[in-house]
A and B are shown apart, each in its own frame.
Chain A
């Protein structure tokens, strides 16, 4: 489902980054552990097709990213990939519900009724149903994080990437958020990118990114 082979990347004027090979099967969950500066976010962006590698093979959710056009990747992200960002970004002028429906709108040009139905029950399970009509900046950090999880999972993606989903949260909230992720993404492949040692024992499959050579 997620396959990384000999992937190298370098930013303009930056050192070359060399990423470990790994494979993650359908429905599996894995942890990409690394300290800051180890290229975690870079790898995540590579996996989402937001960055293109200098060399190597990246296959995610049945798609060979190197062989896909930007346009194809835009649609693919909307259809098959869910991303939970470290900081929950929202379109500030739209309500929570509208933000959650936005991926469907952008990918398919409309929001079907069954998505709205799924959204209702998901908001209910995540305990933010009462915030549905609020604007994003009116939500607490924890609520924002839950809303962004709901948005990433609503279109039932094949792969879910979570970038430091717990780093801004206390112990209690961190484990609550991870429980939610586990539960809601039960049918998807889940890749959690983090430096949060609290999560180390959560999954048996863990790939550690080494600090880059200076």
Chain B
């Protein structure tokens, strides 16, 4: 017969389903919210940091600097406009600038951006070719891993591009793109891009037989790596009289996350409040249990149970609640993450991993379980002082 203290604790919890469910739900929601915030914060920060990787400055058309960064580094916003390639090349030759990666885009296929660039873009993110090869001729494309997987495309597949960055209404049916390679997934922005030579972008908008004048060739932006820190101070002056600007990804992203920061701080406070409430509810339910079950507890003392036995039983009940609530909370945050991931994927083509476990979550588990134990240990102490004789004499 199983009748150990853990089993008794479990039976006692089950005998009060409503009280148990309330404590569990409160703790699960509190832990779930904190864990969900840890997960999103970490993954969003990681995604931002990963994609900034050594991009010191972004050169593009004048407009919102944040938009310039979001559009060209993360590909989640529309670009600010186009700039002349010849003008951009002048900036590239500036002594303070070490190197630059040109980007030209304006078309999409099934919502995935077709980006004209050169091979340094792939090298920059350290991406490897999974199948086939990198593009070399105009209208050859190499797909990011997500694009290939989501659109179910293989080497040799062909498609038309559509004008704009999202919809499929205006399709250029005269120019056919051919898949010549697919990249290995590496978690960078490349996963969600269709890469092709710059010429493809210029030619797709040219009329039949027309040759684009090199002097009027436009690009969308250039990702710059500086040689000298002074570039940050000097370039804005250099560009003052042009239609171009440079923006610093690190600063713009910082500014943006700071603005999110206020919202996350409020959410975090709410999550902490819910957790505090759940501990209060565990505290009260253990206290209430001791009062309602004092006859039982006194009875156990007459049947060979020691004060320590009663104390352990009550602690186990609180501990069981804390552990179950915390685990439930972690499960809940995974479900939340999966839903959130779905939304982010649909809107931004970014992947959020729902099933990673963070070291900080380990800390959260330890903290939640120990505070839960403490919340039961304090009221359980009164079981040590239980007056058996008096309790049993009460009618």
Q: B389 touching A107 by the CB < 8 A rule?
A: no
Q: B395 touching A87 by the CB < 8 A rule?
A: yes
Q: B389 touching A50 by the CB < 8 A rule?
A: yes
Counting chain A CB atoms within 10 Å of each CB, which of B11, B296, B392 scores highest?
A: B392
Q: A90 touching B3 by the CB < 8 A rule?
A: no
Q: A51 touching B392 by the CB < 8 A rule?
A: no
Residue B172 lies at the interface, judged by CB distance under 8 Å to chain A: no
Contact residues of A between 115 and 151, Cβ < 8 Å to B: 116, 151
Given A45-B389, A93-B11, A93-B15, answer yes or no on A106-B1 (Cβ-Cβ < 8 Å): no
Given A50-B388, A79-B304, answer yes or no on A101-B3 (Cβ-Cβ < 8 Å): yes
Given A75-B304, A77-B302, A106-B304, answer yes or no on A98-B392 (Cβ-Cβ < 8 Å): no
Residue of A nearest to B300 (CB): A106
Q: B305 touching A89 by the CB < 8 A rule?
A: no
Residue B381 lies at the interface, judged by CB distance under 8 Å to chain A: no
The contact string, 1 if C-beta is below 8 Å from chain B, for chain A 47-61, is: 010110000000000
Q: A103 touching B15 by the CB < 8 A rule?
A: no
The contact string, 1 if C-beta is below 8 Å from chain B, for chain A 65-78, is: 00000110011011
> How far apart are the CA atoms of A17 and B392 in the complex, in Å?
19
> How far apart are the CA atoms of A56 and B250 in the complex, in Å?
85
Contact residues of B between 294 and 312, Cβ < 8 Å to A: 295-296, 298-307, 309
> How far apart are the CA atoms of A214 and B303 in the complex, in Å?
35
- Chain B binding surface SS class: helix
CB-CB under 8 A from A90, the residues of chain B are 296, 299
Residue of A nearest to B296 (CB): A91
> How far apart are the CA atoms of A160 and B80 in the complex, in Å?
92
CB-CB under 8 A from B395, the residues of chain A are 87
Contact residues of B between 351 and 395, Cβ < 8 Å to A: 388-389, 392-393, 395
- Chain A binding surface SS class: helix
Residue B8 lies at the interface, judged by CB distance under 8 Å to chain A: yes
Residue of B nearest to A102 (CB): B303
Q: B306 touching A93 by the CB < 8 A rule?
A: no
Given A50-B388, A71-B306, A102-B300, answer yes or no on A91-B8 (Cβ-Cβ < 8 Å): yes
Residue B4 lies at the interface, judged by CB distance under 8 Å to chain A: yes
Q: B3 touching A102 by the CB < 8 A rule?
A: yes
Counting chain B CB atoms within 10 Å of each CB, which of A41, A50, A92, A106 scores highest?
A: A106
> How far apart are the CA atoms of A78 and B301 in the complex, in Å?
9
B14, B293, B296, B304: the one contacting A74 at CB < 8 Å is: B304
Counting chain B CB atoms within 10 Å of each CB, which of A74, A81, A87, A98 scores highest?
A: A74
> How far apart are the CA atoms of A90 and B4 in the complex, in Å?
17
A51, A98, A103: the one contacting B304 at CB < 8 Å is: A103
CB-CB under 8 A from B301, the residues of chain A are 50, 74, 77
> How far apart are the CA atoms of A83 and B15 in the complex, in Å?
26
Residue B203 lies at the interface, judged by CB distance under 8 Å to chain A: no
CB-CB under 8 A from A103, the residues of chain B are 303-304
Q: A89 touching B295 by the CB < 8 A rule?
A: yes
> How far apart are the CA atoms of A94 and B295 in the complex, in Å?
14
Q: B12 touching A93 by the CB < 8 A rule?
A: yes
CB-CB under 8 A from B389, the residues of chain A are 42, 45, 50-51
Q: A111 touching B12 by the CB < 8 A rule?
A: no
Q: A91 touching B299 by the CB < 8 A rule?
A: yes
Q: How far is the CB of B55 from chain A (nearest CB, A)?
A: 63
CB-CB under 8 A from B302, the residues of chain A are 48, 50, 77, 81, 83
Q: How far is the CB of B188 from chain A (nearest CB, A)?
A: 56
CB-CB under 8 A from A89, the residues of chain B are 295-296, 298-299, 392
> How far apart are the CA atoms of A117 and B393 in the complex, in Å?
33
CB-CB under 8 A from B300, the residues of chain A are 91, 102, 106
> How far apart are the CA atoms of A50 and B11 in the complex, in Å?
27
Q: B15 touching A92 by the CB < 8 A rule?
A: yes
A74, A81, A92, A94: the one contacting B305 at CB < 8 Å is: A74
Q: A94 touching B303 by the CB < 8 A rule?
A: no
CB-CB under 8 A from A51, the residues of chain B are 389
CB-CB under 8 A from A70, the residues of chain B are 307
Q: A94 touching B309 by the CB < 8 A rule?
A: no
A41, A81, A101, A107: the one contacting B1 at CB < 8 Å is: A101
Residue of B nearest to A76 (CB): B304
> How far apart are the CA atoms of A92 and B289 in the complex, in Å?
12
Counting chain B CB atoms within 10 Å of each CB, which of A85, A101, A105 scores highest?
A: A105
> How far apart are the CA atoms of A79 and B307 in the complex, in Å?
17
Residue of B nearest to A115 (CB): B1
- Having A50-B302, A92-B296, one finds 10 other A-B pairs with CB under 8 Å, namely A48-B302, A50-B301, A74-B305, A78-B304, A85-B392, A98-B3, A102-B300, A102-B303, A105-B3, A111-B1
Shortest Cβ-Cβ A-B pairs, 6 listed: A78-B304, A107-B304, A93-B15, A103-B303, A106-B304, A45-B389
Residues of chain B at the chain A interface (Cβ within 8 Å)? 1, 3-4, 8, 11-12, 14-15, 293, 295-296, 298-307, 309, 388-389, 392-393, 395
Q: List 27 A-B contacts (CB under 8 A).
A: A50-B302, A50-B392, A74-B305, A74-B306, A77-B301, A77-B302, A77-B304, A78-B303, A78-B304, A85-B299, A87-B395, A89-B295, A89-B298, A90-B299, A91-B8, A91-B296, A91-B300, A93-B8, A94-B8, A98-B1, A102-B303, A105-B3, A105-B4, A106-B303, A106-B304, A109-B4, A111-B3
